[in-house]
Chain A
């Protein structure tokens, strides 16, 4: 068995502006969830943050604080997370109201009664019947369980919510309802949201800004319209052109397929992780990781970004 260190996320920098939804886009293994878990300081025991800063509200560096501070002052109170797969994230032998009450009591100086009252209000806010507050997780459908997760995330009025694949595995009609609910709540509370999804169409509909990750590195960062309408990184261009849509059939447009497979993070190439799949790649790409450059309001990491202006390199 091969052993070594996997650099799951490598030198990634971006900001989440207050009251905005930032999407982390990328395929499996690109480092999306690792970033989320680093912010929550919930990396598995073999995972380590070896460098960098995670600044919350521009003052607290979450990489420097100890576990007690994280538990008492940060997690759930300032930064909450909605996990993918609510069935696994909820305790099956406690009723859902009790679980939310516990979370409130652990962080807020309130009585049990007040916590139940708050839980009831949360239920209403996420569109659940408060009469079902003492039901168990298995008594809810997948979509309703996801609403419970959202209620729990909002319990202590966090300013930043991390939504890790919040609609994955839900049917499309239910997914649309959950997306709407998240956006309504985001606006109502001026929440900052870090949205993680492998589904770029969900990302397009929900995000203000989008960070495109590949092989643990940031390839492009910009507002959603620029990323989807005028992507500049070769990877982003290929990714966006590979997405099917209900309003287009194949007779209208052939989907782009990016040849090859994502890199092995155990032996990462020293240069750009995308070089062996990139049609623009030259020797320099293999040796040197390109720095992020400011291009028309976006940030792009590509040595040959001048060659992607006003063209899609995959459609020629």
Chain B
């Protein structure tokens, strides 16, 4: 693993209790849980963009929030470099926050409509007591705006969010996340609300900032085409588990898990001359309350056999930087 590991996650799990009715509680019925994230492990190397991908409800956003301790894990450990952040107190975590920031999905809802761009971007500086001098704050905000491509910055600093387009608003979110000079950024679907021509501009900005500021990203997306463009590594999640993980070129060009294969084959190509053969899936994802026995994907897998319904497959190393959890891949 080496010294350049920025973030490490071990056996991370999050179960949300299902609210029960009064009588169910009274009768002492067994408490039920939504198994949002189930025992996942991965690590992110410094300056890498690690993509967490999967369909709705697979647990990718929950994982991103746990990594920043916006929500607390049920069990498992998270390390930022050599520091176990799951063991930190609230105070200690607050001191670390400027180093670990988040970019949210919806640029229409994540910016306060009554605040000027200046105040939105400088807020993290003020709540974290990183700057008090007015001129210094102003200077930092102007520089942050410039860095995310909102130039000339003087034209943007006194505006309100509603005066900006979707792409410009998302740049404001990025500027806000970067003003504290973070080293690690969780970007949760940062471009999924944006039109194509604007989306590529924001993706290119995120890539440039990585190089310039030595950032490490956990990039959460449902869009595998976007993932292919931005990622260095990828983990494919299904029903709270990682089913395949590895170098993005290896996973996208030669997917090994049947779910990854189905997912990639379903992504439409922006080219009418390419007609892909789709790997069909049976049914729709089961409820995360009662997880299927054995392999979580067994009920929908076109290749499932006896063992898949009884025994959970373990992660298997296929080659360097490429792992998948499937009984079919075990060497007999």
Contact = CB atoms under 8 A, between A and B. Distances in A.
Nearest to B54: A171
A163 interface: no
Given A174-B284, A204-B270, A228-B272, A198 B195 contact: yes
Interface in A279-313: none
Given A257-B200, A258-B197, A246 B264 contact: yes
Given A173-B263, A204-B271, A205-B269, A246 B224 contact: yes
Contacts of A225: 272-273
Contacts of A180: 278
A255 interface: yes
A172 B267 CA distance: 6
Size category, A interface: 35 or more
Interface in A238-273: 238-240, 242-251, 254-259, 261-262
Nearest to A200: B270
A254 B204 CA distance: 8
A261 B168 contact: yes
Question: Taking chain A's interface residues, is the majority helix, strand, or loop, or is none over half, making it mixed?
Answer: loop
B266 A176 contact: yes
A201 B269 contact: yes
A165 interface: no
Given A198-B195, A201-B225, A249-B252, A173 B266 contact: yes
B166, B195, B207, B248 — most chain A CB neighbours (10 Å) = B195
B268 A141 contact: no
A175, A179, A240, A262 — most chain B CB neighbours (10 Å) = A262
A28 interface: yes
B271 A143 contact: no
Contacts of B166: 28
Contact of A259 (B56, B201, B228, B264): B201
A245 B200 CA distance: 12
Given A172-B222, A201-B225, A244 B200 contact: yes
B271 to A, nearest CB: 6
Given A204-B272, A244-B229, A246-B224, A141 B196 contact: no
Given A242-B199, A246-B264, A261 B270 contact: no
B226 interface: yes
Given A249-B228, A257-B201, A261-B168, A242 B196 contact: yes
A199 interface: yes
B91 to A, nearest CB: 40
Given A172-B55, A173-B263, A257-B200, A250 B270 contact: no
Given A172-B266, A205-B272, A247-B269, A27 B228 contact: no
Contacts of B252: 246-247, 249
Contacts of B56: 171
A246 B196 CA distance: 15
B165 A243 contact: no
A173 B280 CA distance: 8
A198 B224 CA distance: 17
A250 B267 contact: no
A240 B165 contact: no
B200, B226, B274 — most chain A CB neighbours (10 Å) = B200
Contact of A245 (B199, B203, B228): B228
19 contacts: A172-B55, A198-B195, A200-B270, A204-B270, A204-B272, A205-B269, A228-B271, A240-B270, A242-B200, A243-B225, A244-B203, A246-B225, A247-B228, A247-B269, A249-B228, A250-B207, A250-B229, A255-B229, A261-B167
The 5 closest A-B pairs by CB, nearest first: A257-B201, A27-B195, A176-B266, A255-B200, A201-B268
Interface of B: 55-56, 165-168, 195-201, 203-204, 207, 222-226, 228-230, 248-249, 252, 262-275, 278, 281, 284
Given A243-B196, A243-B225, A254-B204, 8 more contacts: A141-B284, A198-B195, A228-B272, A244-B223, A244-B228, A249-B228, A250-B230, A258-B198
